[in-house]
Amino acid sequence: SYHPRHPHLPTSATPFPHCSPGTSPGRLPPFPPPKTLTTPRTAAMEQANPRAGSARNRKVVLRDYISRAPREDDMALVDGGAVPLRVPEGAAGPAVLVKNLYLSCDPYMRGRMRDFHGSYIPPFKPGSVIEGLGVARVVDSTHPGFVAGDIVSGMTGWEEYSLIDKPEQLNKIQQSDIPLSYHLGLLGMPGFTAYVGFYEICSPKKGEFVFVSAASGAVGQIVGQLAKLHGCYVVGSAGTNEKVELLKDKFGFDAAFNYKEEPDLTAALKRYFPEGIDIYFENVGGPMLDAVLLNMRMHGRIAVCGMVSQHGMTDPAGIHNLFCLVPKRISMKGFIQSDYINLFPQFLDYMTKHYKDGKIAYLEDMSIGLENAPAAFVGLFSGLSNTILLFLVCNLMTLTLPAGRPRQHFPLQDLEVNRTKSMSPSAEIHRFKRVVPVQLLQVVPSALAALTGKGMT
351-402: pLDDT as tens digits: 999 999 999 998 888 888 888 888 888 887 776 554 456 667 744 333 333 3
Task: Give the separation between CA 457 and CA 26, rounded to whole angstroms.
Answer: 11
- Mean pLDDT confidence for 332-356: 93
40 pLDDT exceeds 80? no
Candidate from 52-66, 311-325, 353-367, 408-422 with smallest mean pLDDT = 408-422
> What pLDDT does 435 receive?
37
Residue with the bigger pLDDT between 29 and 383: it is 383
| In contact, 156 and 171? CB cutoff 8 Å | no
pLDDT band at 77 (very low <50, low <70, confident <90, very high): very high
308 pLDDT exceeds 90? no
11 pLDDT exceeds 70? no
Strands (E), 69-130: 75-84, 96-105
Provide the mean pLDDT of the chain. Answer: 78
Task: Give the separation between CA 87 and CA 274, rounded to whole angstroms.
Answer: 61
- Mean pLDDT confidence for 24-40: 39
120-138: pLDDT as tens digits: 888 899 999 999 999 999 9
Q: In this structure, which amino acid lies at residue 24?
A: S
Task: Give the separation between CA 371 and CA 394, rounded to whole angstroms.
Answer: 9
Q: In this structure, which amino acid lies at residue 191?
A: G
29 pLDDT exceeds 50? no
CATH of domain 189-344: 3.40.50.720
Q: What percent of the chain has pLDDT over 70?
A: 71
Helix (H, G, I), strand (E, B) or coil at 392: strand
Fold topology of 54-185+362-398+429-435: Quinone Oxidoreductase; Chain A, domain 1 (3.90.180)
pLDDT band at 28 (very low <50, low <70, confident <90, very high): very low
194 pLDDT exceeds 90? yes
Q: What percent of the chain has pLDDT over 90?
A: 51
Task: Quickly count: other Cβ atoms within 10 Å of residue 223's Cβ.
Answer: 31
| In contact, 80 and 58? CB cutoff 8 Å | yes
151 pLDDT exceeds 90? yes
> What pLDDT does 388 receive?
56
| In contact, 62 and 128? CB cutoff 8 Å | yes
pLDDT band at 46 (very low <50, low <70, confident <90, very high): very low
> What pLDDT does 134 receive?
92
> What pLDDT does 408 receive?
39
Residue with the bigger pLDDT between 299 and 178: it is 299
Helix (H, G, I), strand (E, B) or coil at 157: strand
Residues 6+ apart with CB under 8 A from 171: 17, 18, 152, 153, 154, 183
Task: Give the separation between CA 319 and CA 288, rounded to whole angstroms.
Answer: 10
pLDDT band at 108 (very low <50, low <70, confident <90, very high): confident
- Edge-to-edge order in the sheet of strand 233-238: 255-258, 233-238, 209-212, 277-282, 296-304, 331-334
Q: In this structure, which amino acid lies at residue 333?
A: K
Torsion, Cα of 292, 293, 297, 299 (10° steps): 130
> What pLDDT does 313 receive?
56
314 pLDDT exceeds 70? no
pLDDT band at 457 (very low <50, low <70, confident <90, very high): very low
Task: Give the separation between CA 265 and CA 270, rounded to whole angstroms.
Answer: 9
Residues 6+ apart with CB under 8 A from 353: none
> What pLDDT does 386 receive?
47
Task: Give the separation between CA 265 and CA 259, rounded to whole angstroms.
Answer: 7
| Sign of the C-alpha dihedral computed for residues 286, 287, 292 and 294 taken in this order | positive
Task: Give the separation between CA 455 and CA 21, rounded to whole angstroms.
Answer: 32
- Among 303, 315, 257, 310, residue whose Cα is nearest residue 286: 310
201-233: pLDDT as tens digits: 999 999 999 999 999 988 999 999 999 999 999
> What pLDDT does 169 receive?
86
Residues 6+ apart with CB under 8 A from 190: 106, 184, 217, 218, 219, 222, 388
391-447: pLDDT as tens digits: 677 443 333 333 333 333 334 433 343 333 333 333 333 333 333 344 445 545 555
Q: Where are the domains of the chain?
A: 54-185+362-398+429-435, 189-344
